[in-house]
Chain A
Amino acid sequence: GAVVSQHPSRVICKSGTSVKIECRSLDFQATTMFWYRQFPKQSLMLMATSNEGSKATYEQGVEKDKFLINHASLTLSTLTVTSAHPEDSSFYICSAPRTSGKVQETQYFGPGTRLLVL
Chain B
Amino acid sequence: QKEVEQDPGPLSVPEGAIVSLNCTYSNSAFQYFMWYRQYSRKGPELLMYTYSSGNKEDGRFTAQVDKSSKYISLFIRDSQPSDSATYLCAMRTPGGFKTIFGAGTRLFVKA
Contacts and interface: CB of A to CB of B under 8 A. Distances in A.
Interface of A: 1, 4, 6, 32, 34, 41-44, 46, 49, 91, 93, 95, 97, 104-112, 114
Contacts of A105: 49
A106 B43 contact: no
Nearest to A113: B43
Interface of B: 32, 34, 36, 41-46, 49, 88, 90, 92, 97-99, 101-104, 106
Given A43-B102, A43-B104, A49 B43 contact: no
B79 to A, nearest CB: 21
Given A44-B88, A106-B34, A112 B97 contact: no
Nearest to B49: A106
Contact of A97 (B45, B88, B97): B97
A111 B34 contact: no
6 smallest beta-carbon distances between A and B, as pairs: A109-B43, A43-B103, A112-B43, A111-B43, A109-B44, A43-B104
Given A44-B101, A106-B32, A114 B49 contact: no
Q: Is the interface of A mostly helix, strand, loop or mixed?
A: strand
Given A32-B97, A97-B97, A104 B102 contact: no
B41 A109 contact: no
